[in-house]
Amino acid sequence: MSSPYELKWGILGCGWIASVFTKDLLLDTAARGAGNIKHTVVAAGTSSDLGRAQKFLDDCGVPSGTAAAYGSYETLVQDPNVEIVYVATPHSHHFPHVLLALKAGKHVLCEKPFTVNAEQARILYDVAKEKNLFLMEAVWTRFFPLSIEVRNLVKSGKIGEVKRVLADTSFLNEMETKFPPENRMVNMDLAGGALLDLGVYSLTWVFQILYHLDENPKTPKVVGHIQKYAVTGCDETATVICQFEKATGIAMTSCRVGTDVDEEGTAGPAIRIYGTKGEIQVAHPAFRPLKYRVILPKEEGGAGEWQERKDAGGAMYWQADGCARSIREGKLECEVMPWKESIAIMEVMDEMRKQADMPYPEAIESTAH
């Protein structure tokens, strides 16, 4: 039996999401049927604190002496042991940090939203192509077995031709007390707001059904509305209507009101996929789907039972496995989350902000490199 394909990771940014991802990399791949892949964490770095990077590695359970800690991103990406860099810094810094890693000759998995605007995304993909490097936006939702099951059901024609997708990713918060102005969720200097942080998941469900499954996908026309947060000027609530050629997608998000206020499912599904023969419902939360059901007309069986799937850990390993398989096969992008689609979603969010007259500071909208 051949040895598993090993992918060596460097973690750029040592915050909460990076810790979830790193701990997931350490889980046994064979337990999820991916024993022909092995993930190894060989380095982690912060912008200025080597001690914090070492503490991060220790707290995540990375075996002592197997990974290097760095106090700068520049030294992290120069580590010859690092094959792929996971970028987990604030949205505002994705563009320069991905560029830094690509220019150092590293493959990259970058947290969502991929960049602040579509032009930044295009530049990064051009650089990756030029340097023959793998690059992907870390939309983990796409890789869940449950998401794949739902996509396959749609492709099978189970609910007929899909005409509408409705998706919501919102959380009830008293924003004035929950988020101080410097918090990344509301800080415009960090590309804060509901749209880029949470709305990307609603758009993910719209796009993985109405765009990803289309043989000739086109970026939809967009009509939207944003309600701004008075304290910082970011968006606190956003609604996007995506007008595709044969269907409509409605993506909603908010950090003021909630999709599932009591967290008991009382409010109903977070995602509804409407077809000409029936409907698929997916329960909250949209970013980590746990269960779905198919509803058909009564004479054809009516409402089916909820199909539930729980994955171990943080379940961010599915996308890491996707990276490993793609790189092993010499691909520059992954068919589950291709470059063209990340750009299209960024274009939708660009148009939303344009309609709402909500630019971010020039320093983070910049494409200079």
Domain assignment present for 343: no
Do 68 and 120 sit in the same domain of this protein?
A: yes
Per-residue pLDDT of the chain (369 residues; tens, 9 = 90+): 589 999 999 999 999 999 999 999 999 999 999 999 999 999 999 999 999 999 999 999 999 999 999 999 999 999 999 999 999 999 999 999 999 999 999 999 999 999 999 999 999 999 999 999 999 999 999 999 999 999 999 999 999 999 999 999 999 999 999 999 999 999 999 999 999 999 999 999 999 999 999 999 999 999 999 999 999 999 999 999 999 999 999 999 999 999 999 988 888 999 999 999 999 999 999 999 999 999 999 999 999 999 999 888 999 999 999 999 999 999 999 999 999 999 999 999 999 999 999 999 999 999 987
Residues 124 and 154 in one domain: no
Does 21 share its domain with 133? Answer: yes
Residue 282 lies in a domain: yes
Look at residue 304 and tell me if it is in a domain.
Answer: yes
Q: Let me know if residue 92 belongs to a domain.
A: yes
Same domain for 232 and 162, yes or no, is yes
Q: Is residue 247 part of a domain?
A: yes
CATH code for the domain in which residue 163 is found: 3.30.360.10
Question: Do 176 and 300 share a domain, yes or no?
Answer: yes
Indicate whether 93 and 179 sit together in one domain: no
Is residue 245 included in any domain, yes or no? yes
Instruction: Supply the pTM of this predicted model.
Output: 0.96
Helix 50-60 and helix 16-25, axial crossing angle in degrees, nearest 10: 50
3-state secondary structure the chain: CCCCEEEEEEEECCCHHHHHHHHHHCCCHHHHCCCCEEEEEEEEECCCCHHHHHHHHHHHCCCCCCCEEECCHHHHHCCCCCCEEEECCCHHHHHHHHHHHHHCCCEEEEECCCCCCHHHHHHHHHHHHHHCCCEEEECHHHHCHHHHHHHHHHHHCCCCCEEEEEEEEECCCCHHHHCCCCCCCCCHHHCCCHHHHHHHHHHHHHHHHHCCCCCCCCCCEEEEEEEECCCCCCEEEEEEEEECCCCEEEEEEECCCCCCCCCCCCCCCCEEEEECCCEEEECCCCCCCCEEEEECCHHHCCECCCEECCCCCCCCHHHHHHHHHHHHCCCCCECCECHHHHHHHHHHHHHHHHHCCCCCCHHHHCCCC
Q: What percent of the chain clears pLDDT 70, i.e. is strictly above it? A: 100
37 lies in the same domain as 73: yes
**Quick one: pLDDT at residue 265?**
83
Contacts for 315 with CB less than 8 Å, ≥ 6 apart:
24, 140, 144, 288
Output the pLDDT for position 1: 59
Distance CA 317, CA 320 (A): 5
Domain with 262, as residue range(s), is: 145-308
Q: Are 291 and 187 in a shared domain?
A: yes
Same domain, 227 and 174: yes
Whether residue 160 sits in one domain with residue 45:
no
Q: What domain count does the chain have?
A: 2
